């Protein structure tokens, strides 16, 4: 028996419906075999049905917990009615105040509270006579070193890490510059990974996924195995080596670009470009599909569309996938 896509919980005496929205592009952004029997999509009509059903069961406030990304949530809020707020994720936006989106039946608040536990989004509704009469939102910064750890959770973490502690603490190198992973197009952590891929695999260029998570290291800090795992420990971390023509490399970059910069938010899958090593290019986000990437070069020389190049990747990257956003994958 499948579980319900929403729950109704009394909060300070007010029945609040909390609806879940999984990342609609899961089988596109991840290997399909990992979710072979699952289907995903934005599915406005189904969401509208669940919101109406929750309202019919007495919910006075409806909140959508979404992994769509900010732009997708903004469009969704304009088309689905009856949602009071969308608390979203995926694009890592720290939004100081919600965006008020008008739709056919009222207004929906849309916001994100960043990522990696940096902020806590606090949304208070004033409900009178079964309706929202006002709201207040705060984006609170989280200072981990000022918060006392939960003793039970700290004990659990210590027990799980215990057998691996010595290996995780192994010092591999010392960073000469700032190592970070925060840019939409690149970051110094990504460059270290790309350089390693090209050296170990003997590749002319390398691709790495557009991840933005992981610990930032200051110049002079040791790089430990713990940091490497922090940057790379995912469920499909294997590396690959392929031969791609220059034409195929451009197709891959154009495909990723369209996933990021398509004018229709429902065709966007986030805000992060695949990272590249060895290769340089120019990107024009506002151009049309297939025309955003230009001036591709390897070691200063223009990429030959018909020539094959040895390309390393991981996670696995690169890959080309297309999809329709509103249906089922």
Confidence of residue 316 (pLDDT cuts 50, 70, 90): confident
Tell the burial category of 2 from Cβ atoms under 10 Å away from its Cβ (0-12, 13-18, 19+): exposed
Q: Measuring CA to CA, which residue among 166, 25, 153, 44 is closest to residue 104?
A: 44
Can you give the pLDDT at residue 321? 45
Cα–Cα distance, 286 to 122 (Å, whole number): 35
Question: Do 115 and 168 belong together in one domain?
Answer: no
Can you give the pLDDT at residue 324? 41
- Would you say 255 and 315 are in contact if contact means Cβ atoms under 8 Å apart? no
Sequence length of the chain is 329
Q: Is residue 321 part of a domain?
A: no
Question: Which residue range forms the structural domain that includes residue 98?
Answer: 6-144
Q: Is the pLDDT of residue 184 over 80?
A: yes
Question: Do 269 and 179 belong together in one domain?
Answer: yes
Q: Is the pLDDT of residue 126 over 80?
A: yes
Question: Do 23 and 126 belong together in one domain?
Answer: yes
Q: Is residue 107 part of a domain?
A: yes
* Residues 225-233, mean pLDDT to the nearest whole number: 94
Can you give the pLDDT at residue 318? 59
Q: Measuring CA to CA, which residue among 119, 116, 67 is closest to residue 231?
A: 116
Q: Is residue 328 part of a domain?
A: no
What mean pLDDT is reported for the chain? 92
Can you give the pLDDT at residue 2? 55
* Residues 229-236, mean pLDDT to the nearest whole number: 92
Confidence of residue 31 (pLDDT cuts 50, 70, 90): confident
Question: Do 225 and 127 belong together in one domain?
Answer: no
- Would you say 123 and 135 are in contact if contact means Cβ atoms under 8 Å apart? yes
Can you give the pLDDT at residue 152? 98
Cα–Cα distance, 162 to 181 (Å, whole number): 27
The structure's pTM equals 0.86
Can you give the pLDDT at residue 25? 87
Q: What DSSP character marks residue 302?
A: E
pLDDT 10s digits, 133-172: 999 999 999 988 888 999 999 999 999 999 999 999 999 9
């Amino acid at each position: 028996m499948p579980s319900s896509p929403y729950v109704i919980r009394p909060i300070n005496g007010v029945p609040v419906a909390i609806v879940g929205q999984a990342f609609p592009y899961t089988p596109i952004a991840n290997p399909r075999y990992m979710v072979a029997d699952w289907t995903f999509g934005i599915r406005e009509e189904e969401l509208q049905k669940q919101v109406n059903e929750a309202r019919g069961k007495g919910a006075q406030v409806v909140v959508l917990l979404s992994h769509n990304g900010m732009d997708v949530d903004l469009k969704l809020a304009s088309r689905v009615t009856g949602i009071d707020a969308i608390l979203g994720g995926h694009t890592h936006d720290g939004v100081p105040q919600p965006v008020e989106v008008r739709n056919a039946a009222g207004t929906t608040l849309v916001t994100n509270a960043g990522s990696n536990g940096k902020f806590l989004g606090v949304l208070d509704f004033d409900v009178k006579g079964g309706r929202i009469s006002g709201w207040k939102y705060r984006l609170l910064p989280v200072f981990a070193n000022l918060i006392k750890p939960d003793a039970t959770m700290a004990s659990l973490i210590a027990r799980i890490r215990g057998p691996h502690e010595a290996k995780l603490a192994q010092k591999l190198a010392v960073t000469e510059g700032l190592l970070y992973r925060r840019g939409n197009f690149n970051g110094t952590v990504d460059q270290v990974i790309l350089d390693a891929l090209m050296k170990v695999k003997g590749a002319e260029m390398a691709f790495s996924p557009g991840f933005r998570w992981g610990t930032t290291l200051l110049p002079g800090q040791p790089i430990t195995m713990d940091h490497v795992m922090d940057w790379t420990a995912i469920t499909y971390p294997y590396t690959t080596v392929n031969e791609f023509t220059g034409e195929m490399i451009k197709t891959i970059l154009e495909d990723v670009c369209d996933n990021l910069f398509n004018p229709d938010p429902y065709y966007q899958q986030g805000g992060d470009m695949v990272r590249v090593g060895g290769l340089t290019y120019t990107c024009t986000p506002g151009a049309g599909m297939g025309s955003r990437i230009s001036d591709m070069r390897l070691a200063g020389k223009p990429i030959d569309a018909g020539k094959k190049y040895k390309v390393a990747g991981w996670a696995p990257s690169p890959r080309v996938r297309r999809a329709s956003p509103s249906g089922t994958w």
